[in-house]
Amino acid sequence: MTDGTEGVPDTLFIPLAARIYSTEHFPEYFKDEASLRFRDKVPESIVSGSSEYSMVASVARYRNTDAMIRDFVERNGRSSIVFLGAGLDTACIRLSDLDACFYEMDLPEVIEMRGDLIPAAENEVLIPGDLFDMRWAEKVDRTRQTMILALGVFQYFPEKRIIDAIGRMKELFPGAELVFDATDSKGLKYAERHVRRTGNKSAAMYFAVDDSEQFALRTGTELMEYRPFFTDARRMLIGKVGIYTRIAMNVVDNNGRAKILRLRL
């Protein structure tokens, strides 16, 4: 992935830090025991630069998308689950009981790091490559029902590139589901400030979705689900997180600042 992506690989430690934080502080909401083995790999700047709210926001993404993956596989049986920009995600471990093959695609240097830290499981395929050249699709078993996930990825690229990529996914994976997280334009500014506070000054953000239905129309896809980030968190973490975090979760959900979209290609 090129063209303005300098600094993007460094961001893979941000969600890892959040998964560790949640596992240690509120495992009843989100627990990822596999992440704990990498605690000493997370740069201190990421831990010190992350607020409680940003930690909750990051793991809320995974709590919601894990549920979507589980629903997809339970409905469709043996499935292909593709993570674009997989980073150091451990969904394959968290969801090891599912009848699915997990495909982890990311930049070659990230896949090399991932392979060293997290040995591939029997039901897992590591794919080094570029999200936009689509050669990664050749490694995926497209005879199975397929869900493609891009979590914390699209924000770093211009909208035109995202729309073009979705169009090519439609050709290669007709009828598949695409799941990705997005902020609106105001939320994107906050997200970029957070990344800069963690020490990464070069990972600029570009892509936002202000109207989910219009975005589905523009991409010729079906909007299957619009899911706010914090529905469960607002209920389960009351009294366990600070007042700022509670207020921020309410504001974000009520104003559509951050959401997860599920499209049918």
pLDDT, one tens digit per residue, over 94-147 is: 999 999 999 999 999 999 988 888 888 899 999 999 999 999 999 999 999 999
| CB of 104 closer than 8 Å to CB of 87 | no
Q: What are the tokens at 230?
A: 């914090």
pLDDT at position 178 is 98
pLDDT at position 193 is 63
| CB of 256 closer than 8 Å to CB of 231 | no
Q: What is the residue whose two structure tokens read 């890892």?
A: 16
Edge-first strand order for the sheet with 258-264 is 124-128, 100-106, 79-84, 145-150, 177-183, 258-264, 222-228
pLDDT at position 4 is 38
**pTM listed for this prediction:** 0.89
* Ranges under pLDDT 50 in the chain: 1-9, 198-200, 202
| CB of 120 closer than 8 Å to CB of 74 | no
pLDDT at position 258 is 93
Kind of pairing, strands 79-84 and 100-106? parallel
Residue type, 70: R
Q: Which residues contact 207 (CB under 8 A, 6 or more apart)?
A: 154, 155, 156, 157, 158, 159, 162, 182, 188
pLDDT at position 195 is 55
E strand map for 17-97? 79-84
pLDDT at position 191 is 61
| CB of 205 closer than 8 Å to CB of 157 | no
Q: What is the residue whose two structure tokens read 């509670």?
A: 246
CA distances from 22 to 14, 35, 69 (A): 13, 10, 20
4, with CB counted inside 10 A (0-12, 13-18, 19+), is: middle
pLDDT at position 192 is 60
pLDDT at position 3 is 40
Q: What is the residue whose two structure tokens read 């959900």?
A: 253
pLDDT at position 116 is 87
